[in-house]
Amino acid sequence: MGKKTKDYFGNETEVIRGGKWNWKSFKSTEGYPVSSNLLDWVIGQGQALKECYLCLDEWVHKLKHIKKEKWFEAWNDPEKEKDQSRNMVSPGPYLLLLGDPGTGKSLIGRALAAHLTELYNKHKIQLQDVMCWRNETIPSEPKISCHSASEGKRILFREKLKEAKKMFLQKLGMKALVYLMMSVAMIFMFAGFFYVWQEKIRWDLNSSSAMGTPIQTIYEGNFLRFILDSFISIGSTTFLPAGMTLMFLVLIVFLGRFGSMSGAKGVGGAKASNVPKLIVDNSKKAAPFIDATGHGTAQLFGSIAWDPLQTGGLGTPEHQRVSAGDAHRACLGILYIDEIKNLKPDDTVTLLTVLEDGQLPITMRNRWSNAGTAAMAVATEPVPCMCFLVGAGNFDSIGQIHPALMDRIYGYGKVVRMNNDMCNTVENRRKYVQFIAQEASRFHLIPFSREACEEIINEGRRRSNKKDGLTTKFRPMIAILKTAATLAMNDGQRYVERQYVREAIENHCKTIQKQILEHQMRERGELLEIKPKGVRIGQIYGLAVVADPYSGEMTGNVLTVKGFLEKNGKDQENPLKGYYRVTGVAKGEKQNFIEDSVAKVRSVILQKYGVDVAQECFTHIDFAQAYGVDGPSAGVTMTILLCSLIEGKPIRQDIAVTGEINVGVVNSIQVTAVGGLHEKIKAAEAWGFKKVIIPLKNYMHSIDPEDYSIEVVAGETLEDYLKECLAD
């Protein structure tokens, strides 16, 4: 690695976002100018970005035409009839990003939204707020209006102010009526008590009645009878009106309190009022980015909240129960759906309507949609939902996406393949330094030293499985960065050095599948008879991989292959028929590649020595302590083993081999490339082998010998392998 360090990143000084950066002498990522533009964070996806830019240019051209045609002005007035025609809005463009996880699909989606904001400011394209209004004629069909971004909040404030004034006047009038009635009641009550007091004075003075007879004489001195008769006559004109007034006052107060309760918050925090509801708010004036991954129908396309009190007229008003969906909130922005293949068929059909028409009414869209209550029978006018669809998925999504949706994307948009790797050039190694600086800034990590950056780049090269490649699956690389930085910070370091990166890679940042495989190999390795030293006839060590069937994770494995070969004595009068057996390999339906390798080995030996190991010999090859071995990489191992037995030469036990044997042409038997070379070499290294021999194509394409402490030798033909493996 020391030889590479000097010119690994080039020698010039580069101006990056207004700052100078010396690639020859930089010691760490400290001070690297990190961009605030997300598009600059996308690395290794140049072709994908070009396609995205083309789609954005087409999108902006479409919006400029819509602006010229004044399409959104049809929604300015909620009372105005909406244009239902499809001719004014052309479909597309749409974007489908296909690639492996971690290649930056969601990052591109967010970056496009940021870039859209810049384009909108440049071309003076305004985002829209959407408001839902009460329909006085048919309450179950709320009205819709659209306004320039941030205008919706001003309208809402104005309507709330009008409603507050109205409520204030109502409350003021109610209070005035209450105080007036209380005053009238008090006057009647006062008059009643005053008349009673006057009658008490008459009794005390023993005044004469109309007949001239004293009062006390008439009532025979019974004051209670007198005052009771007087109260009846007085109460009919004073206390009775006062009581009725008070009862009416209590009724008014009760109704007033009930009315205030009806204005309390209901579904979605709404109140029982005629104030419109702001269902799409773009007051930030930034092109929206809505991640709708995994969302259900109601979340995608909006719905009507269910209020069980609605049928009694005591619930939340219809227009206040309307909730916009992702498609409406993403209007003039990015609607991002990852794993788009998982969209339900019904949702896909509705999405097609959104993409074609650019507008969609909001109605009940949930598990109650088949019910039939009046609380659910609500549907708005068409709501604008002209969104830029960015779908994403793995390569297996191609055959699983709804055919109609795929047809729209092919017809009106673009399908982009995300790169899994990029060329290992000076420019791209600098991009890796940029990536490291970006993530250090995002996660507030300490800077990485130059040597640590080189080690991370080497890991990116190894993960690309190409000598001249670097992986663009950056998400797993982020785990390495964070872990290495944490290890360094725990040790009180100022910079992340190379040893922390290596420790993170080797000990901390392995997937669970790889951990399980390595654990199984360690447990099994304690029982294996592998001794990489000396020479032996009839035994060779081959290299293989064990793969997880679901994740594709692999780990290396060393196989002990033993052989027996004895001629069948054809010179005798009654020679026995020979046989050719290979044990320890995959059987039955699992026997995929190994059967071909076994057949090719027989032909190669016949071609090289003129000996048919199946007819002229008793031949037995055994993959000792192994079961279910499969794959073409066992071919050269079996061939060398048989060559050793035929020639009587021992095989060096400190060498492990791998490669696919091929039937010879023009006296040359080639050994061709196989997979999993890095894992195989690491396994041989762990067992203490001194040397591994691999196919020349693999050596040139994938392997850097400096990555390993073991000697890695390339072989192009069987003779190359035999020269290294057979001892004199």
pLDDT confidence band for 260 (50 / 70 / 90): low
Query: Given the DSSP bridges, would you call strands 143-148 and 469-471 parallel, antiparallel or unpaired?
Result: unpaired
Q: What is the CATH number of domain 534-725?
A: 3.30.230.10
Query: For 679, how many CA atoms within 13 A lie in the half-sphere containing its CB?
Result: 19
Going from N- to C-terminal start, the domains of the chain cover 2-30+422-509, 47-150+282-417, 167-200+212-269, 534-725
End-to-end C-alpha distance for the chain, whole angstroms: 36
Tell me the pTM. 0.75
Under the banding of pLDDT at 50, 70 and 90, the label for residue 372 is: low
Q: What is the pLDDT of residues 119-128, one digit of tens each?
A: 898 888 899 9
| pLDDT at residue 368, rounded to an integer | 53
Name the more confident of 377 and 386. 386
Per-residue model confidence (pLDDT) at position 107: 86
Instruction: Please give the average per-residue pLDDT across 476-489, as a whole number.
Output: 94
Considering 67-76, 94-103, 646-655, the range whose residues carry the highest mean pLDDT is 646-655
Largest distance between two CA atoms of the chain: 172
**Mind listing the pLDDT tens digit for each residue in 661-695?**
988 787 789 999 988 889 899 889 888 899 999 99
In the predicted structure, residue 266 carries a pLDDT above the cut 60: no
Just give the CATH number of 47-150+282-417: 3.40.50.300
Looking at per-residue confidence, does 391 or 200 come out higher? 391
pLDDT computed for residue 83 by the predictor: 63
Q: How many Å separate Cα 616 from the centre of its chain?
A: 62
At 49, which amino acid appears? L
Amino acid at 57: D
Q: What value does the mean pLDDT take over residues 216-223?
A: 75
pLDDT (mean) for 223-238: 77
Percent of the chain with pLDDT over 70: 89
Per-residue confidence (pLDDT) for residue 308, from 0 to 100:
67
Confidence of residue 437 (pLDDT cuts 50, 70, 90): very high
CA atoms within 13 A on the CB side of 685: 16
Residue 621 or 202, more confident: 621
Q: Residue 184 — very low, low, confident or very high, per pLDDT cuts 50/70/90?
A: confident
Residues 336-366 pLDDT 10s: 999 898 888 889 999 998 888 888 999 887 6
Question: Using an 8 Å Cβ cutoff, are 441 and 24 in contact?
Answer: no
Per the prediction, the chain carries an average pLDDT of 84
Residue 534: both structure tokens together? 């000396």
Distances, alpha carbon 487 to alpha carbons 127, 310, 371, 452, in Å: 46, 60, 58, 13
**Rounded Cα distance, 199 and 186, in Å:** 20
pLDDT score at 512:
82
pLDDT of residue 2: 40
Residues with a known catalytic role? 633, 680
Mean pLDDT across the stretch 217-226?
76
DSSP, collapsed to helix, strand or coil, labels residue 213 as coil
- Taking only the tens place, the pLDDT of each residue in 611-658 is 989 888 999 999 887 766 777 778 899 999 999 999 999 999 999 999
pLDDT band at 3 (very low <50, low <70, confident <90, very high): very low
Question: What whole-number distance in Å separates Cα of residue 147 and Cα of residue 456?
Answer: 50
What per-residue string of b and e applies to 368-405 under the rule 16 or more CB within 10 Å gives b? eeeeeeebbebbbbbbbbbbbbbbbbbeebeeebbeeb
Q: What is the pLDDT at residue 80?
A: 79
Distance from C-alpha of 321 to C-alpha of 303, rounded to nearest angstrom: 8
Q: Could you read off the pLDDT of 540-570 as tens digits, one per residue?
A: 999 988 877 666 778 888 889 999 998 876 6
Q: Which residue would you say has higher pLDDT here, 580 or 75?
A: 580
- Average pLDDT on 227-249 reads 79
pLDDT category, 370, cuts 50, 70, 90? Answer: low
Checking if the pLDDT of 4 tops 70, the result is no
User: What is the rounded average pLDDT of the residues 493-510?
Assistant: 93
Q: What CATH code would you report for 2-30+422-509?
A: 1.10.8.60
The whole-number average pLDDT for the span 68-86 is: 76
Task: Compute the distance between CA of residue 728 and CA of residue 432 in angstroms, rounded to an integer.
Answer: 49
User: How far is the C-alpha of 287 from the C-alpha of 119, rounded, in Å?
Assistant: 10
pLDDT the model gives residue 389 = 92
Asked if the model's pLDDT at residue 377 lies above 90, the reply is no
**Looking at 152-161, 533-542, 546-555, which range is the least confident one?**
546-555
pLDDT score, position 196: 80
Half-sphere exposure at residue 494, Cβ-oriented, CA atoms within 13 angstroms: 3
Task: Give the residues across from 715 on adjacent strands.
Answer: 695
